[in-house]
Amino acid sequence: MSLLSAIKGRGPSGYGYGSTAEEVCAGVDLSGKTVLITGCNSGIGKESFRVLAARGAHVIAAARTVEKAQATAEELGFAGQASAVACELSEPASVFECVTQVKGLGRSIDVLMLNAGIMALPTLTLKCGYELQFFTNHIGHFILATGLLDTLSEDARVVVLSSAGHQMTPRGGIDFENLDGSKGYDAWKFYGQSKLANLLFARELARKFEGTKRTANAVHPGVINTNLTRHMHPFLTRVFGLFESITLKSVAQGAATQCYVAVHPDVTQSGKYFADCDVAGTSRYGQDMELAARLWDESERIVEGL
């Protein structure tokens, strides 16, 4: 147990900073349920795959290549309980093909867990004319989720991986006039912008779900030393490793909040932001529904132009 786990304890849900994905899913029967997870082959996506499959779910395992997804299913011992699909979020053709492949499975999706992402690219990188973190973390998932809306079950849950980093953004939250970084690039602010976009997407999707039993929520998993840090400056990576036992969550703890929001029967909220398995506060931009609606419209425009 890390020092922070001991200090923070548990919140109103009965879970907290130190809870694990296995703990929050204990006693939940997912037999007959279908869960799609992006980034299923590493980190908290892989742990979510393992835990939810162990509770009986059929997992549509999405990774950058079908080989990586299949290998993960075999490694975890759930090859017969999974459908492996390729979904390279930075490549629109791959995401559109993933939508086609998933629809071809003929399964109703009960949980759509938008987990994959990249973080803090040290230099400006573009894809289709847009900064890569925004394009991968938000637009890729936007294509996938909107493409699969008609496959969701009547009480489906959409869980979007955001971050506390959503509070560290350019002025205005989403800098619509600089989505290509041509007017200046800051690795962390653009990461924060992409995570704010994830949060706003969940909020706007929840608004569109109003009047149904479907829910959409965003989550902050905590600070975890996974391969998400692979693009960080080597010094910062070493710092993460040095303080891991004191300040960072384990992968099992990091996967807890998204698994809790995905399947725990006590979660009935929609349009919320969760951290440590409880509803948490956000930046003022994270509560701005006009910004959320504008982002949705701009995302549709971007996708139409691809």
Per-residue pLDDT tens over the stretch 8-22: 568 899 999 999 999
Distances (CA, A) of 297 to 199, 200, 201, 243: 15, 12, 11, 41
pLDDT of 227 reads: 53
pLDDT of 236 reads: 47
Task: Say yes or no to pLDDT of 229 above 60.
Answer: no
pLDDT of 176 reads: 98
CB-based contacts of 14: which residues, under 8 Å, 6+ apart? none
C-alpha closest to that of 23 among 13, 34, 37: 13
Identify the weakest region by mean pLDDT among 142-146, 225-229, 279-283, 295-299: 225-229
Residue 18, CB-side half-sphere exposure with 13 Å CA sphere? 13
Among this protein's residues, is 185 annotated catalytic?
Answer: yes
Q: Using one digit for the tens of pLDDT, what is the confidence trace for 167-200?
A: 999 999 999 999 999 999 999 999 999 999 999 9
pLDDT of 239 reads: 42
Kind of pairing between the strands at 58-63 and 82-86: parallel
pLDDT of 225 reads: 67
Instruction: Considering only CA atoms, give the Rg of the chain.
Output: 18
Residue holding tokens 């006009």?
290
Global pTM value: 0.92
C-alpha closest to that of 282 among 186, 208, 206, 217: 217
The helix (run of H) or strand (run of E) holding residue 75 is: helix 66-76
pLDDT of 124 reads: 98
- Mean residue pLDDT of the chain comes to 92
Identify the weakest region by mean pLDDT among 167-176, 224-233, 284-293: 224-233
Confidence of residue 74 (pLDDT cuts 50, 70, 90): very high
Q: Count structural domains, the chain.
A: 1
Residue holding tokens 């040095």?
242
Find the mean pLDDT for residues 227-232: 49
Distances (CA, A) of 267 to 264, 278, 282: 6, 9, 19
Q: Which two tokens stand for residue 156?
A: 């489906």
Beta strands in the chain (DSSP E): 34-38, 58-63, 82-86, 109-114, 126-127, 130-131, 152-161, 215-220, 273-275, 278-279
Q: Using one digit for the tens of pLDDT, what is the confidence trace for 75-108?
A: 999 999 999 999 999 999 999 999 999 999 999 9
Longest dimension (CA), the chain: 51
Q: Using one digit for the tens of pLDDT, what is the confidence trace for 106-161?
A: 999 999 999 999 998 999 999 999 999 999 999 999 999 999 999 999 999 999 99
Task: Say yes or no to pLDDT of 230 above 80.
Answer: no
Q: Using one digit for the tens of pLDDT, what is the confidence trace for 240-278?
A: 444 444 458 999 999 999 999 999 999 999 999 999 999
pLDDT of 75 reads: 98
The helix (run of H) or strand (run of E) holding residue 72 is: helix 66-76
pLDDT of 240 reads: 43
Of 185, 260, 273, 285, which is the active-site residue? 185
Q: Using one digit for the tens of pLDDT, what is the confidence trace for 24-59?
A: 999 999 999 999 999 999 999 999 999 999 999 999
What range defines the domain where residue 62 resides?
Answer: 3-304
Where residue 144 sits, what CATH number does that domain have?
3.40.50.720
CA distance linking residue 241 with residue 275, whole number of Å: 22
